[in-house]
Amino acid sequence: MPLYVEKKPDVLITEDGVRTDGRLPHEIRPIRMTVGILDKADGSAFIEWGGNRILAAVFGPREVHPKHLALPDKALIRTRYNMAPFSTPERKRPGPDRRSVELSKVIREAIKPAIFVENYPGSVIDIFVEVLRSDAGTRVAGVNAASLALANAGIAMRGLVAACAVGRVENFIICDPNHDEDMWGDADMPMAMLMESEKITLLQTDGPMTDEQFKEALEMGRRCIRFLYEMQKEALKRPYLIVERSVFEQGEV
């Protein structure tokens, strides 16, 4: 018998579209993004999104070990998505499992089109996504953090990659599903976009949707992702603006 039994809420969404955490269908949970928080990594980012706490670290471009993995004409991209044992309500057995191997692949493929891999032949760029606390939507939060960490590392990119999940609960298309909606909702659709061209680099669906619902969900996802992109830009520029302000303030005294 598990010690922790989750219960489905009686009502996932009211007739007026109020969700279990009080949000309306189009509302996103609170988000905070911070870059450059790890000293030893070439680039890093931390994202707090609802109950999620995710750390992304980028190393490289650096020498490939083992050497035979190196590609002669472009950089190799390696990604590791990992959940801390304490990140879930019940202890997660440490180490890679089926799910984290899949998410590593999904995040890598969402991010890779953004990188000018041909600029760094024969090298490797390692991306680590560490989930410290999970609360639905960790893969999209991981994509956002990884993209920030890459930009923070000074790697040549076509643009940033922003991501958000959308879903369906009964007849409502909802933005950024929370834990309850992820567990008991009818459909879930994480998506990511390369922001410079707004091309979709990640689209998964779990659960049935009609054509109309799918189109509505896609449109809502696009809107959310544009919002996240604005936050990413702000997060990347923030450290430089803070230094600039403090220099000017010192000058006035």
* Binding interface with another protein (CB under 8 A): 42-43, 60-63, 72-73, 114, 116, 120-124, 151-160, 194-197, 232-233, 236-237, 240-241, 243-244, 247-248, 251
Q: For 116-210, where are the alpha helices, taking DSSP H only?
A: 138-152, 179-184
- Closest to another protein by CB, 97 or 230: 230
- Closest to another protein by CB, 170 or 198: 198
Tokens of 26: 């189009």
Cβ of residue 197: shortest distance to another protein, in angstroms? 7
- Closest to another protein by CB, 18 or 243: 243
Cβ of residue 177: shortest distance to another protein, in angstroms? 27
Residue with tokens 């955490």: 21
- Closest to another protein by CB, 4 or 248: 248
Cβ of residue 63: shortest distance to another protein, in angstroms? 5
> How far, in Å, are 20, 85, 123, 190, 250 from residue 16 at the CA level?
12, 38, 54, 24, 53
Cβ of residue 228: shortest distance to another protein, in angstroms? 13
The DSSP call for residue 68 is G
φ/ψ (deg, to 5) at 234: -60, -45
Overall size of the chain counted in residues: 253
Burial of 2 from C-beta contacts in 10 A (0-12 / 13-18 / 19+): exposed
- Cα 153–chain centre separation: 17
- Closest to another protein by CB, 51 or 122: 122
Cβ of residue 70: shortest distance to another protein, in angstroms? 8
